[in-house]
Amino acid sequence: MKVGIPKGLLYYKYHPFLQTFFSELGAEVIVSPDTNTEILNEGIKYSVDEACLPVKVFHGHVYSLKDRADIIIIPRIMQVRKREYICPKFCGLPEMVLNSIPDIPQTIIEPIYAISKKKLYSWAEGAGSKITEDGSKIRKAFNIALNEQKNHKQGIKDENYKLRVALAGHPYNIYDKFINMNIIEKLNELGVGVITEESIDDKLIDMEVKNLYKKPFWTFARNSYGFTANVSREKMVDGIIYISSFACGIDSVVVELIRDKIGGFPFMILKVDEHTGEAGLDTRIEAFVDMLERS
Ligand code: SF4
């Protein structure tokens, strides 16, 4: 059985779990290639115009797997923290994909509530039963995959640069080099180090969020807000860059919350969509770094 995993959206956060789980079940795991122009073009062709760039890119990844895999995972991730949710586009992702791309093989689309081991295991039982009927094998694969995820170190914390910026936004915008046009490398070449939200203690994010008049409903809004509020207050960085997807409703709220919180702290929003040109992005990064150097 060949299991296809699209390298888009929260693949960047949860790939150790997904890949290990299905490999341990004995499936051959095929991950789609890094995002490239062809994947983007297929994504644009097979998704609705109104979708944000990461969702379009995800469609392209599914398209690239559809003739190579026997079964494709379209993770319907609902929750990863209690009393918080993931963007509604994740809830309807399977329907969007299945109604837009023809001739898709079998899929795994059961909702994922990763808020407790028990709830996540109920997803694993359903997904695993499509690969094997052996319940003990599923249990074993689940535990190994969970450990793999726990031991996976994520995040960037550059040291020894003359300047340092906090790079905030959804994980797929931070870690997909095609979507962000290699921003981390570009900043490093300009002598600017990067830190991401994983490099600060989660308790600090909680502490910042508690000061808001209302707790954010969306997990990634909570993370971005708490991270940027903390690093600006503690002066851990010289500036903040937020990578935002055009047409993202959550971003439109969170950038205003951040702006309101950090006051005059250097802050730049880079909005990306399929039309964003690299030259324009380079100019904005260079101007921002120039401004940081002078301040
Ligand atoms: S959170 Fe924003 S960028 Fe992410 S899938 Fe939802 S709309 Fe798109």
Same domain, 115 and 250: no
Domain that holds residue 178: 163-294
248 located within any domain: yes
Split at pLDDT 50, 70, 90, the class of 41 is very high
Same domain, 71 and 193: no
Same domain, 54 and 145: yes
224 located within any domain: yes
Check pocket membership of 250 for ligand 1, CB cut-off 6 A.
yes
User: What's residue 123's pLDDT?
Assistant: 97
Split at pLDDT 50, 70, 90, the class of 197 is very high
Write the CATH number for 141: 3.40.50
Statement: residue 24 has pLDDT above 80? yes
Cα–Cα distance measured from residue 53 to residue 60, given in angstroms and rounded to the nearest whole number: 11
Q: What is the 159 CA–ligand 1 centroid distance (Å)? A: 30
Same domain, 129 and 193: no
User: What's residue 276's pLDDT?
Assistant: 75
Same domain, 75 and 102: yes
Domain closes at, from 87, 116, 151: 151
Nearest by Cα to 189 from 167, 154, 161, 155? 161
203 located within any domain: yes
Same domain, 146 and 168: no
Cα–Cα distance measured from residue 293 to residue 269, given in angstroms and rounded to the nearest whole number: 18
Residue among 12, 74, 91, 170 whose CB has most ligand 1 atoms within 8 A, to mutate: 170
Same domain, 6 and 138: yes
Cα–Cα distance measured from residue 228 to residue 240, given in angstroms and rounded to the nearest whole number: 7
Torsion of CA 97, 100, 103, 108, to 10 degrees: 10
Q: How many domains does the chain have?
A: 2
User: What's residue 216's pLDDT?
Assistant: 86
- The two three-digit tokens of residue 23, written as one number: 């490999």
User: What's residue 275's pLDDT?
Assistant: 81
Write the CATH number for 193: 3.40.50.11900
Strands 2-5 vs 71-73: parallel, antiparallel or unpaired: parallel
Domain closes at, from 88, 119, 151: 151
Tens of pLDDT, residues 214-270? 888 899 999 999 999 999 999 999 999 999 998 899 999 999 999 999 999 999 999
User: What's residue 176's pLDDT?
Assistant: 97
Same domain, 231 and 202: yes
Split at pLDDT 50, 70, 90, the class of 182 is very high
Q: What is the 56 CA–ligand 1 centroid distance (Å)? A: 10
What are the φ and ψ backbone dihedral angles of 86, each rounded to 5 degrees? -95, 160
Check pocket membership of 89 for ligand 1, CB cut-off 6 A.
yes
Nearest by Cα to 128 from 173, 71, 167, 60? 71
Same domain, 124 and 7: yes
Residue among 245, 272, 276 whose CB has most ligand 1 atoms within 8 A, to mutate: 245
User: What's residue 111's pLDDT?
Assistant: 95
User: What's residue 214's pLDDT?
Assistant: 87
Same domain, 48 and 139: yes
Same domain, 21 and 47: yes
158 located within any domain: no
Tens of pLDDT, residues 75-98? 999 999 999 999 989 999 999 999
Report the SS3 class of residue 77: strand
Distances from the Cα of 223 to the Cα of 52, 117, 249, angstroms: 20, 22, 16
How crowded is the C-beta side of 224, counted as CA atoms within 13 Å?
29
156 located within any domain: no
Nearest by Cα to 89 from 207, 247, 224, 228? 247
24 located within any domain: yes
Check pocket membership of 87 for ligand 1, CB cut-off 6 A.
yes
The average pLDDT across 54-83 equals 96
What atom of ligand 1 comes closest to residue 251's alpha carbon? 2
Domain closes at, from 130, 151, 172: 151
Report the SS3 class of residue 5: strand
User: What's residue 277's pLDDT?
Assistant: 84
Same domain, 220 and 271: yes
Per cent of the chain over pLDDT 90 is 93
242 located within any domain: yes
53 located within any domain: yes
Cα–Cα distance measured from residue 33 to residue 293, given in angstroms and rounded to the nearest whole number: 37
Q: Give me the chain's average pLDDT, please.
A: 95
